[in-house]
Amino acid sequence: MNIQNNPSLMDQLAASYALGTLRGGARRRFETLARDNATLRAAALVWQSRLSSVAELQPQEAPSPVVWQRIENLVRADKEARAMQAARVAPGAVGWWSSLGLWRGGAAAGALATVVAVVVGLNVNGRLSGQVSELTAKLTATPEIEYVAVLTDDKASASLLVTFDPKNKTLVLKRVGNFREPPDKSLELWALPPGAGAAAKSLGVMGADSVARLNVADTDMRRVPALAITLEPKGGVPPGTAATGPLLFKGALIETPK
């Protein structure tokens, strides 16, 4: 059938195309025709524009205030990341995360942390997304928890979930990935410094269990932009010294609504 001589059929097909109910072979034939036929193309565009307003006409409902807080976290992290990218000079020969000098450059560390925050926010992988929603739900239900972090490896796979309960001054680390350190090594948790010129602070060492609870002062957690895990000799580095091993996981510390 030659639809080009049938304006009413052309319009009907354009409407089904825009609505999305024209499917399969019929849809492909329509697209082929529309590429050669300006009238058909225009009809499809008119319908797409008309129907786009369907979305505008749905009943309203106010979302929970938590949503804005989450958006704000993401936006702030994104702004910092952009600012850092603009300010960043060509990276030198020193590996970013293997260099501890970097950790003392709080701003640079913040930038990486924010990249991680953005990745978390974008929910790049379904599993991570589920964990973040789960955590958020848990946090809403448990007002004592004030901070949360999802520590990920360099492929953005979640490896550790961290929550901080200021009432009990307990940091809970939960393994979620498959990573297991060698028996002669330990995972050590570090709080990245809030500003330039300060050093990363060790928060403790994880045992071999899948969950670890570390006692920390809430002053240790305040204004910390991100947490990181390094691989250290069994039992961790001597108190007051800097990390020696490679950085395995990192993630932004996100303050949760109270």
Q: Residue numbers of the site for other proteins (CB under 8 A)?
A: 11-12, 15-16, 19-21, 23, 46, 49-64, 66-68, 70-72, 74-76, 78-79, 82, 121-123, 126, 129-130, 133, 137
Phi, psi angles (nearest 5°) of residue 188: -115, 135
- What sign does the dihedral 26-31-34-36 (CA atoms) show? negative
- Give the shortest CB-46-to-other proteins separation in angstroms: 8
Q: How far is the CB of 44 from other proteins (least distance, A)?
A: 13
Closest CB 104 distance from other proteins, rounded Å? 29
* C-beta of 33 vs 83, nearer to other proteins: 83
Question: Three-state SS string across 129-187, please?
Answer: HHHHHHHHHHHHHCCCCCEEEEEECCCCCEEEEEEEECCCCEEEEEECCCCCCCCCEEE
Beta bridge partners of 212: 173
Nearer to other proteins, 39 or 52 (CB): 52
Comparing C-alpha atoms, which of 215, 204, 206, 201 is closest to residue 168?
215
Asked whether 190 and 234 are in contact (CB, 8 A), the reply is no
Work out how close the CB of 66 gets to other proteins at its nearest, in angstroms, rounded to a whole number: 7
Return the number of the residue (67 or 217) whose C-beta is nearest other proteins: 67
Q: How far is the CB of 53 from other proteins (least distance, A)?
A: 4
Residue 66 or residue 198: which is nearer to other proteins going by CB? Answer: 66
Using the minimum distance from each CB to other proteins, give the nearer residue, 10 or 231.
10
**How far apart (Å, rounded) are the C-alpha atoms in residues 90 and 111?**
15
Check if the beta carbon of residue 240 is closer than 8 Å to that of residue 199. no
Give the Å distances, CA to CA, from 214 to 21, 96, 140, 218, 221.
56, 28, 22, 12, 12
CB of 195 to other proteins, least distance (A): 21
Q: Which lies closer to other proteins via its Cβ, residue 112 or residue 118?
A: 118
Q: How far is the CB of 114 from other proteins (least distance, A)?
A: 13
Report the C-alpha gap between 19 and 48 in whole angstroms.
7
Q: By C-beta, is 110 or 121 nearer to other proteins?
A: 121
